[in-house]
Amino acid sequence: MKLKSYLIFIIFLVITLLFYIDSFSHFFYQDDFFHFYISQAHSIREFIDFFNPINKFSYQIYRPLSTQVFFFLYQKIFGFNHFIFQFIVLLLLSLNCFLLFKIISKYINHNLAFLLAIFYLFHHQNIGIAYYLSTIQTSFVVLLTLLSLLAIQQKRQNWQIKVFLFYFLSLFCHEIIIFNSFIYIFILLLEDLNNLKKEKKLIIALSSMTILFIIFRLYFVNNQFFQNTHYSLSFSPKTIMNNLMWYIFWFLSVPEYVINFVGSGFKPLPPLFNQYLRESMFSLIFLFVNLVIFSFLILKSKFNQKIILYFAFFIISLLPVLLFPWHKYVYYLPVASIFVIIALSLIIKKNHNSKVYYLIFSLLLITAFATNFVDRKTSYNFKRGRFAAIMRQQLDFSLLKNGNKKILLANDPSFQVFSKDWGSTSSQAKIVLRDDIGIKLLSQNPHLMIYYEDDANFDKNMDFDYYFIIKKEWQ
């Protein structure tokens, strides 16, 4: 990179660190502990088994590079140092914003490109990325997607090999990019239909790898996958359109929590405008502003085939998650949103000096900024990381290092249980610590027997070596 590029990247990094600086006061939780657990290897054979789709943990997704390999290497080098892991996550986020900036700078001036890249950085899709560290898988595939798009755009030496290699690696990081291969092919054909002959080898290689990987997933991994009710599939057009609608709303800066309080037919449940009255009113304003912005852009712009296809890429990239009626999260959005931002830059390509576009992108940035903070207040991805940090400070793991000790994590008697399904404070601790995995890893004692007061098998007459009350202020 040239000196100017280094400086721009540093600016992105500084803004990222300042904007998400509170993430350093959080800690690992939930799937973070599980990924550390399944990433332990004591021999070369066990390391190679990371790539075995039929694994001993009944792990129902196949992301060996971004989970087992990365978490294994991290453990070996840094142990459970949260600070360094958090820094890596934010470094990746800033690098991805910088690469997006480089791509769209080809179409619009640097100032507008910078605003769009900061919009991407502030977007609440990154709540999960910045605070739920297991979603580093998404950051890796965003990086590989952007590197592929940049290679196609620049067409420097051996760019075809790079595109294929980036796609190949991404398949072992997260299945959400499985259809990226077709997106890359469409981009090549959009540039020049003669690329069907010129880049025949690359097109065949990408298509073949996609087909082979789908067969591989269905045969080896998804025989377990389809049995999981959380990952139940629906091929109903209604379900697919409903899911797509939510991802569009989330892109338009509707906070993620809203989905929990909107029933069938958009009939809101009471907490939406009761418990979250202020947040809900702001959310409606954000949505209205962004709908006006996109309506203006659509009416003002002369759509061509390229712009329409980039909006279509948003849908194509989400296809792997649109089939899940119960498994949709805003942190699946970062790959798809890349294509909308590129489409926006193409829309204003010929009018990039107009002041109105500075106003439009500034408004987009403001709504993204505000929604990010609304979601921090309401998101489990934010709250549970802080919960875990406080719990880590309160529990003395040095007392648990040796022996077959029985540990009870008890409810705070002063906590008012408002839902049987939600449970009391020990129920939340169990989610954060991923059952018994978190305490066993942090205490380095696999022989601990851990009980939670809310568990059905809890026996109050049992003798315990240690007794911890999960205080209500940890919520």
Q: Are residues 342 and 452 in the same domain?
A: no
Q: Are residues 238 and 363 in the same domain?
A: yes
Is 389 part of any domain? no
The pTM for the full model equals 0.91
How wide is the angle at C-alpha 405 spanned by C-alphas 399 and 408, nearest 5°?
Answer: 85
Single out the residue of 142, 144, 189 nearest to residue 168, CA to CA: 144
E strand or H helix at 411:
strand 406-411
- Backbone phi, then psi, for 469, in 5-degree steps? -95, 125
- Average the pLDDT over 220-237 and give the result: 63
Q: Which residues are registered as beta bridge partners of 287?
A: none
Is 394 part of any domain? no
Model confidence pLDDT, tens digit, residues 72-117: 999 999 999 999 999 999 999 999 999 999 999 999 989 999 999 9
pLDDT at 229 over 70: no
Give the distance from CA 356 to its chain's centroid: 32
Q: Are residues 263 and 341 in the same domain?
A: yes
- C-beta separation of 447 from 404 below 8 A: yes
Q: Are residues 375 and 415 in the same domain?
A: no
Please state, rounded to an integer, the average pLDDT across all residues of the chain.
88
- C-beta separation of 178 from 320 below 8 A: yes
- C-beta separation of 453 from 426 below 8 A: yes
Single out the residue of 27, 83, 35 nearest to residue 388, CA to CA: 27
What is the distance between the alpha carbons of residues 90 and 81, in angstroms, rounded to a whole number?
15
Q: Are residues 14 and 94 in the same domain?
A: yes
Is 81 part of any domain? yes
Q: What is the pLDDT of residue 475?
A: 47
10-14, 202-206, 301-305, 378-382: segment of lowest average pLDDT: 301-305
Residue span of the structural domain in which 428 resides: 400-474
- Average the pLDDT over 417-427 and give the result: 78
- In 35-190 the beta strands, taken as DSSP E runs, fall at none
Alpha helices in 252-379 (DSSP H): 277-300, 305-322, 334-347, 355-378
- Backbone phi, then psi, for 467, in 5-degree steps? -135, 115
Q: Which residues are registered as beta bridge partners of 467?
A: 408
Q: Are residues 274 and 407 in the same domain?
A: no
Q: Are residues 419 and 364 in the same domain?
A: no
Q: Would strands 466-470 and 406-411 be described as parallel, antiparallel, or unpaired?
A: parallel
Is 271 part of any domain? yes
Q: Which residues are registered as beta bridge partners of 411?
A: 470
Is 179 part of any domain? yes
Model confidence pLDDT, tens digit, residues 197-211: 888 999 999 999 999
Is 386 part of any domain? no
Q: Are residues 404 and 366 in the same domain?
A: no
Q: Which residues contact 18 (CB under 8 A, 6 or more apart)?
A: none
Q: Are residues 310 and 419 in the same domain?
A: no
3-state secondary structure 341-376: HHHHHHHCHHHCCCHHHHHHHHHHHHHHHHHHHHHH
Q: Are residues 288 and 233 in the same domain?
A: yes
Of 381, 414, 436, which marks where a domain is finished? 381
What is the distance between the alpha carbons of residues 173 and 312, in angstroms, rounded to a whole number?
23
Residue predicted with more confidence, 27 or 455: 27
Q: How many residues would you count in the chain?
A: 475
358 exposure class (CB count in 10 Å sphere: 0-12, 13-18, 19+) = middle
Query: In the 8-state DSSP scheme, what is residue 252?
Result: T
Is 209 part of any domain? yes
Q: Are residues 376 and 468 in the same domain?
A: no
- How many structural domains comprise the chain? 2
Single out the residue of 146, 156, 107 nearest to residue 12, CA to CA: 146
Q: Are residues 463 and 343 in the same domain?
A: no
pLDDT at 403 over 80: yes
Q: What is the pLDDT of residue 224?
A: 52
pLDDT band at 326 (very low <50, low <70, confident <90, very high): confident
Q: What is the pLDDT of residue 472?
A: 66
pLDDT at 118 over 90: yes
Which range, 227-231, 345-349, 350-354, has the best average confidence (pLDDT)? 345-349
Query: In the 8-state DSSP scheme, what is residue 221?
Result: I
pLDDT at 355 over 70: yes
The tokens describing 303, both together, are 């759509």
Of 381, 409, 443, which marks where a domain is finished? 381
Model confidence pLDDT, tens digit, residues 235-263: 788 888 988 999 999 999 888 888 877 76
What is the distance between the alpha carbons of residues 162 and 149, in angstroms, rounded to a whole number?
10
Is 173 part of any domain? yes
Q: Which residues contact 61 (CB under 8 A, 6 or more apart)?
A: 175, 221, 225
What is the distance between the alpha carbons of residues 338 and 142, in angstroms, rounded to a whole number?
9
What is the distance between the alpha carbons of residues 321 and 176, in angstroms, rounded to a whole number?
7
